[in-house]
Chains A and B, each alone.
Chain A
């Protein structure tokens, strides 16, 4: 297994001199496309992580993200098993994701900018909550995460840079309690990165 890994790295043209890495933190703005349990754009999410450049073309990394999505449903009357219930309510999804990712960097004449496309695979923990008056109902589930991503990094100094990325999160999170199946979000991230150049 170790040999295969070394061979794979050699095949990608690993060069010790080319090694560099960076950590990043940014605002994560995303909107769920499914389910309709929540509808609002999460504008206060955060995404941060670590990227390690294997060579000029490939990098790998570890990404964390945290987002809150919500929805307000105005007062309505619902039929229950033995009567009716009237209330308004707030629905929330508190989402935390972790993914191992890989990126392919496109070569530009300008070495200040580095556009890339990548894919992250990992897991998402969703906490579902329904608030109405003093009452709360909740559920929480883990799910598989697949996250295609495109973006660009820009070096602004020797060790500091910025990035902009666009992601689509496909997750398998389900909630039997709320009868929700699947969770998808699309968003963009904007932030700073701190490079560790060698």
Chain B
């Protein structure tokens, strides 16, 4: 009997070990992680105006036929986040239409079912093709069921020889799907993204 009990001891330890404590979900998900990157070569003081879409944000998923989300009465999210960006920019930049030759374009999109985290940690600043409007990237990379809100600032003044434009600032905010209140947390996260990027409007 004594030996049997002793033999069971290591098993008991491992069983106890498998019951690992983890953080409380509510506490984990009550704020979005806000990660911002900037292009060291960008001269943010040279930007005086911006353009931003009205009531439409991009939606990046595995379906290339489903690429935008538009404001509706029962889906105010696009307008909420657009207004949050406009509020954060305030009077630092003049808002223009895309055909009025703004200095920067603001892209807002949600990346769904794609874990952007690796990109957040190891960002690469690429070029977009000819910028004739609000451009939302498409990806074929899949991961877990997540949604990351992305706000990008695209330099429209300094196009390269192939008329490509460069992303000079990005904010990644996630995870939207797991959030306790995704609308409020998205708005708060956008405010934080600009707050921690004070170099934008010096």
Give the B-binding residues of A (Cβ under 8 A).
21, 23, 25, 44, 46, 48-50, 64-66, 68, 70, 72, 75, 77, 80, 82-88, 90, 92, 94, 96, 131-135, 194, 196
**B196 & A92 in contact (Cβ 8 Å cutoff):** no
Number of A-B contacts (CB under 8 A): 101
Q: Considering the complex, which residues of chain B in the window 52-101 have a beta carbon less than 8 Å from any beta carbon of chain A?
A: none
Q: Is the Cβ of A84 less than 8 Å from the Cβ of B197?
A: yes
CA of A24 to CA of B32, assembled, Å: 46
Contact of B38 among A21, A75, A82 (CB under 8 A): A82
Listed stretches B5-13, B104-112, B126-134, B159-167; interface member: B5-13
Tell me if A82 and B37 are in contact (CB < 8 A): yes
Of B15-23, B43-51, B149-157, the one contacting chain A is B15-23
Option from B9, B17, B29, B192 in Cβ contact (under 8 Å) with A133: B29
Give bound CA distance, A66 to B198, whole Å: 46
Give A47's nearest chain B residue, CB to CB. B13
B: residues with CB less than 8 A from A are 2, 5-6, 9-10, 12-13, 16-17, 20-23, 27-29, 31-38, 40, 117, 120-121, 123, 144, 146, 174-175, 178, 192, 196-197
Q: How far is the CA of A90 from the CA of B20 in the complex (A)?
A: 14
**Within the assembled complex, what's the spacing in Å between the Cα atoms of A51 and B29?**
46
B23 touches A90 (CB 8 A): yes
Give 7 closest A-B pairs by Cβ, nearest first. Answer: A83-B37, A90-B23, A86-B34, A87-B33, A134-B175, A84-B196, A196-B2
Q: Are the C-beta atoms of A133 and B32 separated by less than 8 Å?
A: yes
Specify which of B13, B29, B196 is in contact with A86 (CB 8 Å cutoff): B196
CA distance A196 to B31 in the complex (A): 55
A132–B35 touching, CB < 8 Å: no
Question: Are A84 and B13 within 8 A (Cβ)?
Answer: no
Taking CB atoms, residues of chain B closer than 8 Å to A135 are: 33, 117, 175
Take A87-B34, A134-B175, A194-B5 as given contacts and tell me if A68 and B13 are in contact as well, using a CB distance cutoff of 8 Å: no
Partner of B20 from A25, A49, A83, A94 at Cβ < 8 Å: A94
Would B31 and A133 count as touching, CB distance under 8 A? yes
Whether B9 lies near A64 (C-beta < 8 A) is: yes
| 21 A-B pairs with C-beta separation under 8 A | A49-B9, A50-B9, A70-B23, A72-B27, A80-B35, A80-B37, A82-B123, A83-B37, A83-B38, A85-B35, A86-B196, A88-B27, A88-B31, A92-B22, A92-B23, A131-B22, A132-B33, A133-B28, A134-B28, A134-B146, A134-B174
